[in-house]
Amino acid sequence: MDRRKAIKVIGAAGTSLAMPFPFTFFKKHQDMKENNFEVIVIGGSYAGLSAAMALGRSLRKTLIIDSGKPCNRFTPHSHNFLTQDGSTPSEISNTAREQVLKYETISTYDGVAVRGQRTIDGFEIETSSGEVFKAKKLALATGVRDLMPDIPGFVDCWGKSVVHCPYCHGYEIRNKKTALIANGERAAHLAPMIKNLTDDLTVLPSGRMELDHEVAQKYESHRIGVVEKEIAQIVHTDGQIEAVVFKDGSREAFEAAYAAIPFEQSCGIPEAMGCEMTEQGHIDVNFLFKTSEEGIFACGDNSTPFRSVASAVYAGNVVGAMINMELTQAAF
């Protein structure tokens, strides 16, 4: 039996990572008695696959549990990642997954992890179908879920012409008439970086602006406009923003927009298992990506505000190496 293939499927075959991928799926291998692994990686996008690659190259028996819903699935192209600049998220993920599954100790499970608990020997993870997997270590690459504002047209434009990051998308929308949909500290943080990419920037706090006098002066000196009106709608064509309509009936044309929106953890397992969270809502990790719970590591968007493919791949690589080191030292 080919151990490179998935051990069980929840849902239609070929939909992992929310994109078609030509895998043949097999049932659980007989040598995986009691569904025991050395490491379970929850999340099979960039961070999770990166962690799995490091573990596979260290001969660690590893299971990737993936629900198939990466947070960047709305984005047509990925940028600022060496060798893959301009590739689609699915192209990067599919190539990564194909390479990771060449390592014979790596298996995948397409499904949703819903519960986790600590055991005498490590951890147990239960899926939505009721299957239970065991491991000595956990790597949480569960990502976050963006909470979209109730503004008609926003979701249609998200990841296309309304974006979150100047490093991921700023070059492609440089020199355009740009809106920044944000308020307070988030607007103050993003405005200088966006202003570096365009001379035509307007901040839209969707209501009264929350900023101190010093920031207001900087906006004025750098000719950054502020429109303190509530947003009613984003007018677009196929996800390309054309204008913002305000609740007083007025409108302003824009060619691009940034938005700082809230998020939540995609998976409740980290907090339920006792992992401490930061004030911003991320999993709290140290410089080696260890959580507050022994044996549990976290990597990717769930544990950092710096959301990029390159950052996720780096964090996953470190997590894989650190887990292997702990397992090696425990057995030596």
pLDDT for 262-277, tens place per residue?
A: 999 999 999 999 999 9
**Angle at the Cα of 269 from the Cα atoms of 7 and 291, rounded to 5 degrees:** 105
Portion of the chain with pLDDT greater than 90, in percent: 74
User: Quick one: 160 and 131 in the same domain?
Assistant: no
79 & 117 share domain: yes
Measured from the Cβ of residue 112, the count of other Cβ atoms closer than 10 Å reads 18
Domain assignment present for residue 2? The answer is no
**Into how many domains does the chain fold?**
2
> Both 178 and 38 in a single domain?
no
Domain hosting residue 179, numbered range: 154-259
CATH number of the domain bearing residue 198: 3.50.50.60
Within a domain: 1: no
pLDDT on residue 272: 96
pLDDT digits (tens, 9 = 90+) for 133-148: 999 999 999 999 999 9
pLDDT of 70:
61
Task: Tally the C-alpha atoms within 13 A of residue 11's C-alpha that lie toward its C-beta.
Answer: 15
**DSSP per-residue letters across 219-271:** HHHTT-EE--S-EEEEEEETTEEEEEEETTS-EEE-SEEEE---EEES-SHHH
pTM of the model: 0.85
pLDDT level of residue 32 (50, 70, 90 thresholds)? very low
